[in-house]
């Protein structure tokens, strides 16, 4: 562990234990970076009332009991503990970080974490909202795996339900091979709309569609074969999008709605027998306490409709039971649009009532905000509903190629860099704003080489690489020693040491934008360092020290971007 924030937190906790008794040794020390010192701990203020002592007195007692090796502690204001580290300590920690494969990221006690993300609907186009749940979910997977947890990816594909009646009939109408080709190429949305149009306007088609549904549900072999083909070809398109994006999802992670079909009757039985669910107006419902609708009437979570059909909530209840019982989840993350917030609150509450979600399992809805167009409405690709997501990604790549057009790369190199920059820009735009807020999809902004963008960070990496290239040096040959003379060197080293706690925070809070902000600050700290401190032209031993700092910055940036699923071009 090299992260000063984590190390100081431990020291403050030890001091709390010594000063006030062991029951205080696990208190959150509330440490933040500070403008008056390196760090500030605010725990004295939060504890004062419980201890019935003045905050400044509490702070003094902590300061007196604390290990002061390499750190100066001062009390300021109403009882802040201001902590300033010695330059030598920071430099020594940076050398340790540089020698560490994990770059100071602590190894967690492994937990079983299920992450539900992406989850497009087979009957419709994968839209830009699914793009965002896919990208954010995949980053959370990478971060949790890196921290040392066991992650199970679950792609809860929308691959079941009554619309498949009309989709199968439409497939038969236009001919299997023609239909399947269209699905594989991402034409699912138009296909769906055509089927819908016929369903609404053509009585015999409507009747055929309706009678197809029980055949599918009843497992009629010919119907099931068509349904399977439909899903199979649609999956090809999803996989193509995953491939272009470089996300880690494969067919192995598909656990679509259809998978739970055989469990639904049992889910309802179990809930009915335990009296968690009851019949209301012919439907089987759970009424989780605290949810009310209009007129303050209790809000039902309908798990079996009066016609005997099951819905989205039934499937999610089956999924939660499966994830806890079979997948042994300690924590389940649902990376899904914010608009489904009420649904998940009610599903979690019902699952707790049923005892499927017990106290030591946490279920969390990682709410994903909408992506908006320039008009402030839900984003639609330019030529309307029929434009495919793959075309949007292609456009990102060709625009990125244009951005680097004057750099004089060979066409093949330009295409490769354009791909990395274009896709990186789209991913970073999704990740760098807090996951629950909306943002406007804007190519010019996400592709800008300045500001908090993917290309800016990729460029920062390329610039550090070019320092080593110009000196004909290998970053791996510079393990230290590091000495900190200039303020910009000290600030850079301190920022580097913060990597471990940021990665930990992202895992705990499911907030990738914090890692983005950290990397952006790091790139800026490097720029200030580079502008004030010559590297290749410096005299020894300063040159070696600055090359070591540059090597460490390079590794932290590359590792950080990798956790975000963003590739870095060798040159840019």
- Based on CB atoms, which residue is closest to ligand ARG, 343 or 445? 343
User: How would you classify residue 64: left for phi > 0, otherwise alpha for psi between -120 and 50, otherwise beta?
Assistant: alpha
- Based on CB atoms, which residue is closest to ligand ARG, 127 or 149? 127
Q: How far is the CB of 192 from ligand ARG (least distance, A)?
A: 13
Q: How far is the CB of 430 from ligand ARG (least distance, A)?
A: 16
Report the helix count and the strand count for the chain, using DSSP H and E: 21, 13
- Based on CB atoms, which residue is closest to ligand ARG, 41 or 319? 319
**Residue 124: DSSP 8-state:** S
Peptide bond into 541 cis (omega under 30): yes
Q: How far apart are CA 118 and CA 245, in angstroms?
A: 12
Q: How far apart are CA 462 and CA 475, in angstroms?
A: 13
- Based on CB atoms, which residue is closest to ligand ARG, 16 or 115? 115
Q: How far is the CB of 16 from ligand ARG (least distance, A)?
A: 41
Q: How far is the CB of 290 from ligand ARG (least distance, A)?
A: 21
- Mutual orientation of helices 411-431 and 454-470 as an angle, nearest 10°? 130
- Based on CB atoms, which residue is closest to ligand ARG, 340 or 505? 340
- Based on CB atoms, which residue is closest to ligand ARG, 119 or 128? 119
The SS3 assignment for 310 reads coil
Residue of 335, 387, 348, 426 lying closest to 119 (CA atoms) = 335
- Mutual orientation of helices 487-497 and 512-532 as an angle, nearest 10°? 160
Q: How far is the CB of 385 from ligand ARG (least distance, A)?
A: 15
Q: What is the Cβ-side half-sphere exposure of residue 516, based on CA atoms within 13 angstroms?
A: 27
Q: How far is the CB of 329 from ligand ARG (least distance, A)?
A: 13
Q: How far apart are CA 565 and CA 138, in angstroms?
A: 8
Q: How far is the CB of 117 from ligand ARG (least distance, A)?
A: 8
Q: How far is the CB of 336 from ligand ARG (least distance, A)?
A: 4
- Based on CB atoms, which residue is closest to ligand ARG, 66 or 140? 140
Show Cβ contacts of residue 250 under 8 Å, excluding neighbours closer than 6 positions: 239, 242
The SS3 assignment for 114 reads strand
Given a contact cutoff of 8 angstroms between Cβ atoms, the answer to whether 251 and 239 are in contact is yes
Residue 330 corresponds to which tokens in the numbers above?
């300690």
Residue with tokens 């002592």: 53
User: Which residues here bind ligand ARG, judged by CB under 6 A?
Assistant: 116, 119, 121, 156, 158, 316, 319, 334, 336
Residue 422 corresponds to which tokens in the numbers above?
């274009």
Measured on CA atoms in the order 348, 349, 350, 356, is the torsion positive or negative? positive
The SS3 assignment for 250 reads coil
Q: How far is the CB of 345 from ligand ARG (least distance, A)?
A: 13
Q: How far apart are CA 146 and CA 554, in angstroms?
A: 18
Q: How far is the CB of 545 from ligand ARG (least distance, A)?
A: 50
- Based on CB atoms, which residue is closest to ligand ARG, 131 or 226? 131
- Based on CB atoms, which residue is closest to ligand ARG, 14 or 345? 345
- Based on CB atoms, which residue is closest to ligand ARG, 336 or 361? 336
Q: How far apart are CA 37 and CA 82, in angstroms?
A: 6
């Amino acid at each position: 562990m090299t992260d000063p924030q984590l190390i100081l937190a431990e020291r403050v906790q030890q001091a709390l234990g010594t000063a006030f008794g062991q029951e205080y040794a696990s208190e959150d020390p509330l440490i933040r970076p500070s403008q008056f010192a390196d760090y500030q701990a605010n725990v004295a203020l939060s504890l004062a009332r419980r201890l019935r002592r003045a905050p400044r007195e509490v702070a003094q007692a902590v300061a007196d009991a604390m290990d002061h090796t390499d750190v100066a502690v001062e009390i300021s204001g109403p009882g802040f503990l201001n902590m300033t580290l010695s330059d030598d300590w920071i430099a020594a920690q940076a050398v340790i970080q540089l020698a560490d494969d994990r770059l100071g990221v602590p190894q967690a006690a492994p937990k079983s974490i299920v992450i539900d993300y992406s989850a497009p609907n087979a009957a419709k186009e994968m839209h830009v909202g699914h793009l965002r749940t896919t990208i954010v979910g995949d980053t959370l997977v990478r971060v949790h795996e890196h921290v040392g947890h066991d992650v199970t990816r679950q792609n809860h594909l929308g691959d079941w339900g009554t619309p498949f009646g009309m989709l199968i009939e439409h497939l038969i109408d236009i001919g299997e091979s023609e239909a399947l080709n269209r699905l594989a190429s991402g034409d699912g949305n138009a296909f769906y709309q055509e089927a819908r149009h016929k369903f609404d306007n053509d009585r015999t088609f409507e009747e055929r569609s309706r009678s197809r549904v029980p055949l599918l549900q009843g497992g009629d072999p010919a119907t099931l074969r068509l349904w399977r083909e439909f899903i199979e070809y649609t999956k090809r398109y999803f996989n193509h999008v995953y491939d272009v994006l470089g996300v880690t999802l494969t067919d192995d992670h598909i656990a679509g709605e259809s998978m739970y079909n055989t469990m639904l009757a049992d889910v309802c039985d179990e809930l009915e027998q335990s009296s968690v669910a009851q019949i209301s107006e012919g439907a089987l419902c759970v009424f989780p306490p605290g949810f009310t609708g209009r007129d303050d009437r209790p809000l039902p979570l309908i798990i079996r409709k009066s016609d005997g059909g099951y819905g989205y909530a039934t499937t999610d209840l089956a999924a939660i039971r499966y994830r806890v019982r079979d997948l042994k989840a300690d924590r389940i993350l649902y990376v899904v649009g914010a608009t489904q917030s009420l649904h998940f609150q009610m599903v979690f509450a019902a699952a707790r009532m049923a005892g499927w979600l017990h106290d030591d399992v946490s279920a969390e809805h990682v709410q994903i905000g909408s992506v908006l167009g320039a008009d402030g409405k839900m984003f639609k690709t330019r030529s309307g509903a029929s434009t495919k997501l793959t075309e949007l990604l292609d456009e990102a790549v060709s625009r990125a190629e244009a951005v680097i057009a004057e750099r004089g790369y060979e066409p093949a190199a330009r295409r490769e860099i354009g791909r990395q920059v274009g896709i990186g820009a789209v991913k970073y735009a999704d990740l760098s704003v807090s996951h629950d807020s909306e943002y406007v999809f804007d190519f010019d902004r996400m592709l800008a080489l300045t500001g908090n963008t993917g290309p800016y960070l990729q460029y920062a990496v390329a610039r550090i690489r070019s320092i080593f290239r110009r000196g004909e040096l290998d970053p791996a040959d510079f393990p230290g020693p590091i000495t900190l003379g200039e303020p910009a060197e000290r600030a850079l080293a301190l920022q580097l040491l913060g990597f471990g706690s940021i990665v930990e925070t992202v895992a705990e809070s499911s907030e990738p934008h914090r890692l983005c902000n950290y990397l952006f600050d790091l790139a800026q700290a490097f720029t200030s360092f580079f502008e004030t401190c010559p590297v290749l032209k410096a005299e020894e031993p300063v040159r070696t020290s600055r090359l070591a700092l540059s090597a460490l910055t390079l590794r932290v940036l590359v590792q950080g971007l990798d956790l975000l699923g963003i590739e870095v071009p060798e040159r840019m």
